Chain A
Amino acid sequence: MNLPMYDNGLLSGLLAGFLFGYVLEGAGFGSPRKLTGQFFLKDWSVFKIMFTAVIVAAFGLWLFETLGWMRPHAAFVPTLLIYGTVLGGALIGLGFVLGGYCPGTSAVGFASGRLDAFVFMLGMVAGSSLFAGVFDDIRGLALAAVEPRGLTLPQLFGVPAILVIAGLAVIAFLGWKVGSMVEKKFGGPYGVEEVLDSVDTGGGTRHAGGIRIQPAE
């Protein structure tokens, strides 16, 4: 087979987006309380779901390439930037725990009726414009990249891709076990009722009557 199809048209975008949004909503990722619960160790869904998705997709790509159904090295691999990747990731981590979303999940929060997600999206438009405004001053640092472009872990460590995927699976499995124990200890993970009770529809929130049982820390 001759995959990928390199279809970057309207229907391709709408279809991929529809499935993406539907799955993120089902995962509970339209809720900023559930999302930020990761950083208070109360809800490990972000870790569990992201890691599982990475492993499933990475294994699928490896399988399609190995079986010859997909051209080798055809999938787009982002480039590691010397400063930009880790600093940008850190700004997104900080903005996520303060603002409650990342870009994709804010679109799902908005679709789930959350006004705070819409305001977050306005903030992202402002932040993108701010970057454009200072781009000339930081261009050199911002664009400095690690060579070769599109560096992968198998290249970096000189091991086969399937070994890296197996290593990730072991880390995910162990992290999953630890996460499940820890989130229970903190009274998580968030269920749908607790999330919906945190939504102010105009008359305040319910938040279990304002009383929250704090687990021993």
Chain B
Amino acid sequence: MQAAPRPFWPPLAAGTALGLVLLFTFLISGHGLGASGFFARFAAWLSALLAPDWAAGNSYFGPFLRSNPLDSWIGWEIVGVIVGGLVGALSSGRFKAGIEHGPRIGSGSRLLWALLGGVLVGFGARLAQGCTSGIGLSGSATLAAAGFVFLAGFFGAGFLGSIFARRLWQ
């Protein structure tokens, strides 16, 4: 029998800790935290593997491929995120392998929605030149206009989409 999982951190503690980690990242690297850049680099790397001619000639992926696209700060950062998340989940008893979904849908359709959502987010993050971490969080911390415009788009579309997505989660 496993010990009971420990509760999530209170929001004020989690938010303060996240802010300090973000500040620390700015001080050591000169920029904030990110995530989507890694998936773009991974996509460029995969394209180079599957369709080398297309990838090298592609005007978006081509520049990523002048050196190893995975050997970059954001690549190591994502490795760190996964290890940090794993350590947090295992040490708190919150690790659980499986498919998380709302009570009114099954696991199969959950995976289809996850795939579709991922496609939209992957495309959107290239369009915005960053994601919730890189633009929304890190950009806003520098008081960038881009950060707050991004968040307005993010929350606006999220609330609009929630009208149709209620069945998936609630």
Contact = CB atoms under 8 A, between A and B. Distances in A.
A124 interface: yes
Contacts of B9: 26-28
Interface string B113-150: 11111111111111111111111111111111111111
Interface residues of A, number: 140
Contacts of B14: 23, 26-28, 45, 49, 52
B125 A88 contact: yes
B116 to A, nearest CB: 6
A200 B47 CA distance: 33
Given A80-B144, A93-B156, A192 B94 contact: yes
A85 B146 contact: yes
A interface SS class: helix
Interface residues of B, number: 129
A95 B120 contact: yes
Interface in B91-114: 92, 94-103, 107, 110-111, 113-114
B81 A125 contact: no
Contact of B29 (A5, A33, A126): A5
A205 B81 CA distance: 27
A18 B84 contact: yes
Contacts of A195: 94, 100
30 contacts: A6-B29, A13-B75, A14-B77, A18-B87, A20-B21, A21-B80, A21-B86, A23-B17, A49-B11, A54-B140, A54-B141, A64-B23, A78-B146, A80-B145, A89-B152, A92-B120, A93-B157, A95-B118, A98-B116, A111-B85, A120-B117, A120-B121, A126-B115, A126-B119, A128-B123, A128-B125, A135-B59, A150-B144, A152-B142, A205-B101
